[in-house]
Structure 1
Amino acid sequence: MASEYRFIRLRFRLLRTLLGLWGLYLLPLGARAQTPPAAPPDFNRIEPEILPEPTPQPPKKLPPSEELLNAPPQPTPQPESPDNPNFIPVTKYRVTGNTVLSEEEIEKVTKPFTGDAVPFSRLLEARSALTQYYIDQGYITSGAYLPADQVIEDGVVTLQVVEGRLEGIEVTGNKHLKSSYVSKRLNLGAGPPLNVNELLGAMRLLQIDPLIGNLSAELTAGSGPGLSILQVKVEEASTFDVQFVLDNQRSGSIGSFQRQVVLSEANLLGFGDGVRLGYANTDGSNELDFSYTFPINARNGTISASFSQVWSRVVEEPFDQLDIEGVSRDLSLTYRQPVIQTPQKELALGITLGRQESDTSLLGVPFPLSPGADAEGRTEISQLRLFQEWTQRGNDSVLALRSEFGIGLDAFATINPNPVLPGDPNVPDGLFFLWRGQAQWVKQFAPSNLLLLRSTAQFADRPLVPLQQYGLGGLNSVRGYPQNLLLVDNGLFGSAEYRLPLARFGDNQQGLLQLAPFFDAGHGWSNTDGSRTETLAAVGLGLRWQWSDLMSARLDWGIPILSIGPETSGFDDSQLFFSIVVSPF
């Protein structure tokens, strides 16, 4: 769903009119009409003028940011100079101090104020027009003035620009989160020169950061003309979470009923670093996983490390008598960097170096039970993965895409020049190349009425070891078939689900019950000689129950449409999957 942004209360305090622009306008602006001197005047020379000091006024607060942006403040009107019979030829305006406007923009703004006989009042209007153009582009603390004592040569008038800059960012209200986490991210939209639109964009991006609960800011005058200070007040979001999960999405050979607990902290040391620790258990398995993520730059680039280990044994009859056991480990190091990031879209690139190992035994003796394992039942994979992620959010929809290339490396990996089965060219090992893709689109048609489309795919250039194969069937795949009924080298999966509300519960309507009819389909094949292609398809109904952020549950009844072997022979072999998640904190 499209993220709903909480209102960002951004107030801009104007001291001496637009953070020092009052001072800019009070700089010597050129000669006003005075008592005619005895000698003929030099009309090509602008002399400084001494203006009376203005009466100090108390600081004024501007309206909210949306009003400020819709109706930019106008420059302080200058006293009209009396009629001046003196005219000067102006062919163009030369602007100094400008770093953001193009020559074409400057000429477009100032051209109406050129001519063979231009009165001095038109020079002031050119200056005001250029200042207003800066303001219209979002540079509300920038302005132009006529330099004092300038000599106009060849009809070229100089306009000096002072472009506003952010002098500093002051962060208050944060408790555990470092101030630098906020200030560095806001600095990305602070110029120079300071543009209020870019600054608001940086604030909106920070507002949707999961570490930030709420954000407000005030822009005040700095130590000089064009300088300002951003005062930011932060309300931190809750970053600690505990989840208890019950589901039946594991393979029946090790026990499908799974108990799981996950602890996570999204801001462990105050740098925005996250840690996750999880434990899962079935009748025949125990799994432990750990991950740590650390941000390395203000553009939300991260480095993460993860480790997981699974101890398993077959408990399904009659194979439980064979004492089949296995241990698998997965270690990875990942660098992820967003290269495009706005509140509406994000493009991220990343690289992962991974290591996978598995050991199997039969009756307590190491033994190769899967294709690609060596004589001791050991499989080792060293892999380089390159991934790309794209997310786009609209007012009522979200699109997420992920692409990943996997390359098996010839480094500390299982290589089978002499396969376990002599003469079999189809035995896989640690060398391979594959591509995986994922896509998800969520569309809201009415409150709590959602269409969810999902798709995944994998294509490999050769036979793969089971650690890298593509699974079809189960709670998150083709419902209506047992978990991982098919393990193949190449596969496609698609799902369509529509969720419509049935009822709401609670005093504040925080409880929601939805009906979710669905259709799932998958197609897979392997690269070994003589392998067949298989297709799975299922329809079904689901229920979704949500109670605020504290608890959620789902129940899916899938009916297989196509039969594959004796395990899926018709309507009677439908599958019932469930999941319950409790988050008490």
Structure 2
Amino acid sequence: MKPLSSAPSWRAQAVACFVLGLLSGANAQTVKPDAPQAHEPARALPTPAAAPEAPTPAFDVLEFVVEGNTVLSDEAIEKAVTPFLGERKTFANVEAARIALEKAYQDAGFLTVFVDLPEQEVSQGVVTLNVQEGRVERLAVTGSRYYSQGYIRSRVPELAEGKVPNFNVVQAQLAEVNRTDDRRVQPVLRPGRTPNSAEVELKVTDQAPVHASLELNNNHAQFSKPWRLTASARYDNLFQRDHSMQLIAITNPQNPSQSKALGLSYIVPEPGGDGWQATALWSDSQIEAFSSVSILGRGATFSLKRQWGLPSAGALSHVMTFGADYKNMKESVLVGSDKVATPIRYMPLTLGYNGSWVQEDAAVLSWTNNVVFGVGSLFKHDVDCGFGPQDQFSCKRQGADGGFAYYRVDLRQSQPVGRWNLGLRLGGQVATQAVIGVEQYALGGSDNIRGYLSSEVAGDHGVMGSVQINTPNLSPSAGKADAVDSFWRRLDELTAYAFVDAGQIRVFNPSADQAGRQSLASIGVGVKLKVYKDWTLNSDLAHALRAATTTRANDNRVHVRLSADF
């Protein structure tokens, strides 16, 4: 019988070139062989009679022996070649088995692996297939200025020297490395110096991982001056490990004693979307509610949260979180020369599920779900409530005992409608019992029900919804690299929108002077401008449709937010 064989050399080079071009993203240059020289046509010779075709040899294939495999499971190999076993098979059947096995490697992500059919005599129905695995011979990191080369190498272990890379894993690892906007890593593959090998270069484009921002807004509460100034600074590569530390300061520039807060957070990311986050927040405020009544508030919150990245499926990205927040708040009410203090210390636990889903039509659905447990039995503490010792929770709120639990959700959908965009939002909270003010669901302000003061109403249960239609980018320079006027070249975004906001809160066991249910609703229009890429202005004009604690029906309110990122 004629020996079975297939030429491996050209296939190895072709597969290698395909993989290198696919991953490098560079324009490949192909060297073509010299074109054959033109000759005068030869005289036609008499065509001999065609000889009868020899019969195609047939043989039994009872077993495939696969040599050289170290990466594909036995089950996957058997699934690929078993359909081609049997009696009276031909070379075409054996070649189809080789192609099927090679495809199994490619489908599994091993793009540098190919399969050959070595020259052989088929004896006793056994056919040998030879697997040649392309390994990484050398890995280099170039171009990094602010990030450790060793750290970048460690974040892509699938490209370690001596490894047969699974490019499905490589893609996921590179996505993790490129999660920060300060760093982009692009792999470039080249043929290695030895057969069946590749050299990998990780080209890094990075910038200093230092960020700062300023924001001025008039999202204020009752009895306070309108303006709030927020400043933040962040460094995203502490210890060359992608650790992030952020400092945030908030104050009232018109009267700093009314409101000031300082926050510090530290994030430790881990592969796969896992990580830790620690946060500390200190606040101090003094508000004159009336001419003879002042409310003094001072508090500190310390949080520790653990995050687990869940397996992604296409455009779905989601995480689970679990954390604890230790809250120590001291509030005093001064009435003339009398002082009533209502301090409270407790530590709720929070279980969360958050994520986003990018749909085929570019719509984006995002969600935040949190279940909060009060664990009041661990923090039983009596305080002087002005008329004798009383539990700290019932002193702050009649009917509260700290053993609360509530579920809070926030759903948002960004839906393209032609060149326009429709924004939908639905949020709410359901509680098991009366909760103290800081745990209530608040409505009002530029962040939810526009047209009202910040947190103008709050309750144990609550729901809110919003519909907003956004125009396309109206900037004359949108999509134009050479706008005529210099100002329009710097106007990156000009968007107008109209909105409808509505919500309702309910209260457990309301007091005699408290409404058990309150509803808010508003309509309005707004505009968003973005210039110099980093400066953003949002301005909303909202018309209140229902009366609240301070806002009356048909009142108009302007919300302004000016921010800059550095």
With the length of structure 1 as denominator, give the TM-score of the two structures.
Answer: 0.76
CA distance in structure 1 between the partners assigned to 2:194 and 2:432 by the alignment: 65
Rounded to whole Å, the distance in 1 between the matches of 2:114 and 2:8 is: 21
Separation of aligned partners in 2, 1:52 and 1:207: 37
Matched, 1:526 2:496: no
For structure 2, list consecutive stretches of 5 or more residues without a partner in the other structure.
Answer: 31-53, 384-388, 478-486
* Residues 315-362 of structure 1: per-residue CA shift (max 9 Å, x gap): 35x34x334311021110111121224772211011111111111223
Describe the SS at the equivalent of 1:400: strand
1:377 aligned partner, one-letter code: T
SS of the counterpart of 2:378? coil
Closer, same or farther: CA 118–246 of 1 in aligned 2, 3 Å: closer
1:98–1:161 CA contact under 8 A, matched in 2: no
Name the CA shift for 1:434/1:124 in 2 (closer, same or farther; >3 Å): closer
Give the number of equivalent residue pairs.
Answer: 511
Q: 1:191-230, aligned counterparts within 5 Å?
A: 194-204=165-175, 206-212=177-183, 214-221=184-191, 226-230=196-200
Structure 1 Cα separation of the partners of residues 122 and 278 of structure 2: 66
Counterparts in 2 of 1:168 and 1:59: CA distance versus 1, 3 Å? same
User: In the superposition, relative to structure 1, how do residues 285 and 133 fare at CA in structure 2: closer, same or farther (>3 Å)?
Assistant: closer
Shift of 1:223: 7.4
Higher mean alpha-carbon deviation, 377-386 vs 504-513, is at 504-513
- Tell whether 2:562 aligns with 1:562: no
Letter in 2 for 1:402: T
Q: Whole-Å Cα distance in 2 between the matches of residues 512 and 116 of structure 1?
A: 70
The residue that corresponds to 2:352 in the other structure is 387
Which of 363, 368, 393 aligns to 1:397? It is 363
AA in 2 matched with 1:397: A
Whether 1:277 aligns to 2:243 is no
What's the CA shift string for 1:195-243, capped at 9, x where partnerless?
A: 334434543554453332x332122345766544432111114422221
Listed as ranges, the matches of 1:538-557 within 5 Å are: 538-557=522-541
1:105, distance to aligned residue in structure 2 (A): 6.7
1:240 counterpart = 2:210: yes
Aligned residue among 267, 274, 288 for 1:315: 288
Which among 104, 108, 112 is matched to residue 141 of structure 1? Answer: 112
Work out the CA distance in 2 between the residues paired with 1:202 and 1:492. 40
Structure 1 residues 180 and 483: CA distance shift in structure 2, 3 A: same
Is the contact between residue 184 and residue 298 of structure 1 (CA under 8 Å) also seen in structure 2? no
Aligned counterpart for 1:437 among listed residues 406, 409, 426: 409
1:69-120, Cα deviation, whole Å (9 max, x unpaired): 9xxx9xxxxxxxxx9998642224243536536757745556457533656x
- Which one-letter code corresponds to 1:355 in the other structure? Y
- Give the direction of change, closer, same or farther, for the CA distance of 1:118–1:360 in structure 2 (3 Å limit): closer
Name the SS for the 1:218 alignment partner: strand
Q: CA deviation at 1:389?
A: 0.8
Over 3 Å counting, the alpha-carbon distance change for 1:107 and 1:157 in structure 2 is farther
Shift of 1:175: 2.0
Tell me, in whole angstroms, the C-alpha distance in 1 between the residues paired with 2:475 and 2:157.
Answer: 46
Question: Any idea what the Cα deviations from partners look like across 1:116-168, whole Å, max 9, x if unmatched?
Answer: 3656x865664455335534654321123457889844x23343434445466
Q: Which has the higher contact order (CA 8 A, sep 6+)?
A: 1
Given that residues 77 and 104 in structure 2 are in contact (C-alpha distance below 8 angstroms), is that contact kept between their aligned partners in structure 1?
no
Q: How do 1:361-440 residues align onto structure 2 when only pairs under 5 Å count? A: 361-363=332-334, 367-368=339-340, 376-394=341-359, 396-409=362-375, 410-412=377-379, 414=381, 418-419=390-391, 426-440=398-412
Contact 1:366 1:377 in 2 (8 A): no
Q: Secondary structure at the match of 2:428?
A: strand
Cα shift at 1:423: 11
Return the alpha-carbon distance in structure 1 between the equivalents of residues 60 and 508 of structure 2: 82
- Paired amino acid for 1:176: Y
The CA distance in 1 between the partners of 2:460 and 2:428, in whole Å, is 10
> Counterpart of 1:216 in structure 2: which amino acid?
Q
Identity %: 20
2:494 alignment partner in structure 1: 513
- Local SS of the residue matching 1:568: coil
- Check 1:445–1:254 CA distance in 2 against 1; reply closer, same or farther (3 A cut): same
| Residue range with higher mean Cα deviation, 386-395 or 496-505 | 496-505
1:535 matched to 2:523? The reply is: no
Alpha-carbon distance between aligned partners in 2 of 1:88 and 1:570, rounded to the nearest angstrom: 91
Contact 1:92/1:111 (<8 A) preserved: no
For each residue in 1:260-302, what CA deviation from the matched residue of structure 2 results, as whole angstroms up to 9, or x when unmatched?
211112223321111111111112111111111112x322322
Q: Is the 8 A contact 1:558 1:576 kept in 2?
A: yes
Q: Is the 8 A contact 1:147 1:159 kept in 2?
A: yes
- Return closer, same or farther for 1:234/1:343 CA change in 2, 3 Å cut-off: farther
Q: Which amino acid aligns with 2:417?
A: F
TM-score relative to the length of structure 2: 0.78
Deviations 1:368-407 (A, max 9, x none): 4xxxxxxx42011211111111111246222111111111
- Superposition pairs for residues 20-169 of structure 1, below 5 Å? 62=18, 64-65=21-22, 88-95=59-66, 97=69, 99-100=71-72, 103=75, 106=78, 109=81, 111-112=83-84, 114-116=86-88, 118=90, 123=94, 126-127=97-98, 130-131=101-102, 133-135=104-106, 138-145=109-116, 152-153=123-124, 155-166=125-136, 169=139
Q: 1:399 to 1:414 in 2, by over 3 A?
A: farther
Matched with 1:491 is 462
- Closer, same or farther: CA 465–414 of 1 in aligned 2, 3 Å: farther
* 8 Å contact from structure 2 (residues 525, 541) kept in 1: yes
8 Å contact from structure 1 (residues 382, 413) kept in 2: no
Among 274, 280, 291, the residue aligned to 1:301: 274
RMSD between aligned residues: 4.1
Q: Quick check: 126-135 or 246-255, which moved more? A: 126-135
Aligned equivalent of 2:262 = 288
Secondary structure at the aligned position of 1:483 is classed as coil
Rounded to whole Å, the distance in 1 between the matches of 2:89 and 2:286 is 96
How far, CA to CA, are the matches of 1:276 and 1:286 in structure 2?
17
Query: Alpha carbons of 1:545 and 1:222: their partners in 2 closer, same or farther (altered >3 Å)?
Result: same
